[in-house]
Structure 1
Amino acid sequence: MGAVTREMIIAEFHLLEEKAKLLNLEPIRVYLIGGGNMALRGLKSATKDIDIVVTNRGQSSLLEALLETPVPKLPVYLRQYRSQWDYDLGMSVRYIHPLHGFNLDVFVKRVLNKLHLSGDIVSRAEVPEGFESHEFFEVYLVSKEDIFLFKSVTSMERVRDVEDLIALVETGLDYEIVIQEIENQLSKDESLRHIIPLMMHRVDLLMQQIGAVKGLMHLKEYLREICGELYE
């Protein structure tokens, strides 16, 4: 599996805008989470894969057409798999780039059966510099706080995942936004309470690496309170 640099992501997304225009597709809006988001923010030079979320079935179908329809001299992404729960919220599809070999993972509304792309996450998202002119393939970056939250519950404790979380902490996060979004997610889906111990473990791991950051300590106290409620 190949790595994808910031420059490659920019080039590929501009090609997808051109392709969507040629196909005369309705506008597709994608929300970047994870390493692709961090690369476009300049927080890392390259990532192993690009993770994007779309909001509904219609957007998923449009994106599928964009990625898989052949157009001369423009990329056709190769589908590796699609999750068995077709078109339910939380469906995921993995593509691989035919030349560069990196993965493009697409999620519909919910990521890995965990966090939802909530209205608040959408409202905090912003268009990265250089993509303001896109009309057919619209690119949005979820906030740094929301990347931190996604990575806290989906990372696999690989070295690069820990490094990404540290890089996000070092930018200076607003942990009240993180806590408010956790509250928001739990208020809409009680089943997500099972991710709280996982988040606590991630925070402990981070504090072992970088010390007692005030915001992380505040987040840990909040998570500890939630964990206490779980076992009352």
Structure 2
Amino acid sequence: MSAVTRERIISELHLLEEKAKLLNFEPVRVYLIGGGNLALRGLKSATKDIDIVVTNRGQSSLLEALLETPVPKLPVYLRQYRSQWDYDLGMSARYMHPLHGFNLDVFVRRVLNKLYLSESMVSRAEVPEDFESHEFFKVCLVSREDIFLFKSITSMERVRDVEDLIALVETGLDYEIIIQELENQLSRDESLKDLIPLMMHRVDLLMKQIGTVKGLIHLREYLKENMG
């Protein structure tokens, strides 16, 4: 599977805006999480896949049609799979770019049956300057704090995931926002409490790598208090 650079991500998302305009689609708004978000922020040079979240089934259907509808000289993404269930919460699909080989992973409101794209996450998301002109394919980046939360809970334990978390810590995160969002998620779904030990393990890994960070210590104390 090919890595996709920041420049390639920008180019491909511009092509989706062009395609949506040609098809006269209703606006589709996507929220980037994971490596694609970090690449667009300049925090990593390339990513293996682009993870995006949409807010409801209607937006998911529009995005599916946008990716799969043939338009001359514009890419048609190849669907690799779509989850068995067909409802608003947690539905997912994977697409592959026909030429460049990277994956585009789509989630509806909930990612990997774990964290939700909450209203507070949506309110903190921002439109990058590169996509301010988009009218049909609207691109939003969830905040650095929310990326940290997604990366801490939903990602696999890979070297590059830890590297991504370190890069986020080095930007200077607001750990109160992370804690508040985690509380918000827990108030919505108590089963997420089972994921706290995983997040604490990630925080411990980070502290071994980069040493004492006041915010991480505060976050670890919060996690420890809520493990039981």
With normalisation by structure 1, the TM-score equals: 0.97
Count, aligned residues: 228
**1:199 counterpart = 2:203:** no
Alignment of 1:62-77 (within 5 A): 62-77=62-77
Distance across 1 between alignment mates of 2:202 and 2:180: 18
Identity of aligned residues (%): 86
Distance across 1 between alignment mates of 2:53 and 2:195: 20
Structure 1: tracts of 5 or more residues without a match: none
Residue by residue over 1:80-133, the C-alpha shift from the partner in whole angstroms, topping out at 9 and shown as x without a partner, is 001111234101100000000000000000000000000000000000011111
Distance across 1 between alignment mates of 2:87 and 2:135: 25
Task: Please state how far the C-alpha of 1:191 moved relative to its aligned partner.
Answer: 1.1
Aligned to 2:27: 27
Distance across 1 between alignment mates of 2:88 and 2:25: 23
Distance across 1 between alignment mates of 2:219 and 2:83: 33
Q: Which amino acid aligns with 1:151?
A: K
| Deviating more after overlay: 189-198 vs 83-92 | 83-92
Aligned to 2:126: 126
| Deviating more after overlay: 133-142 vs 152-161 | 152-161
Distance across 2 between alignment mates of 1:171 and 1:138: 25
Aligned to 1:54: 54
Aligned to 2:78: 78
CA RMSD of superposed structures (Å) = 0.6
Residue by residue over 1:55-80, the C-alpha shift from the partner in whole angstroms, topping out at 9 and shown as x without a partner, is 00000000000000000000000000
Alignment of 1:178-193 (within 5 A): 178-193=178-193
Distance across 1 between alignment mates of 2:205 and 2:151: 13
With normalisation by structure 2, the TM-score equals: 0.99
Q: Is the 8 A contact 2:88 2:109 kept in 1?
A: no
Alignment of 1:142-221 (within 5 A): 142-221=142-221
Residue by residue over 1:166-185, the C-alpha shift from the partner in whole angstroms, topping out at 9 and shown as x without a partner, is 00000000000000000000
Residue by residue over 1:175-215, the C-alpha shift from the partner in whole angstroms, topping out at 9 and shown as x without a partner, is 00000000000111111111111100000011111111110
Give 3-state SS (helix, strand or coil) of 1:51's partner.
strand
Q: Which ranges of 4 or more aligned residues in structure 1 deviate by more than 4 Å?
A: none
Aligned to 1:36: 36
Residue by residue over 1:34-72, the C-alpha shift from the partner in whole angstroms, topping out at 9 and shown as x without a partner, is 000000011111000000000000000000000000000
Aligned to 1:96: 96
Distance across 1 between alignment mates of 2:42 and 2:89: 31
Distance across 2 between alignment mates of 1:172 and 1:96: 34
**1:4 counterpart = 2:4:** yes
Distance across 1 between alignment mates of 2:173 and 2:215: 8
Give 3-state SS (helix, strand or coil) of 2:157's partner.
coil
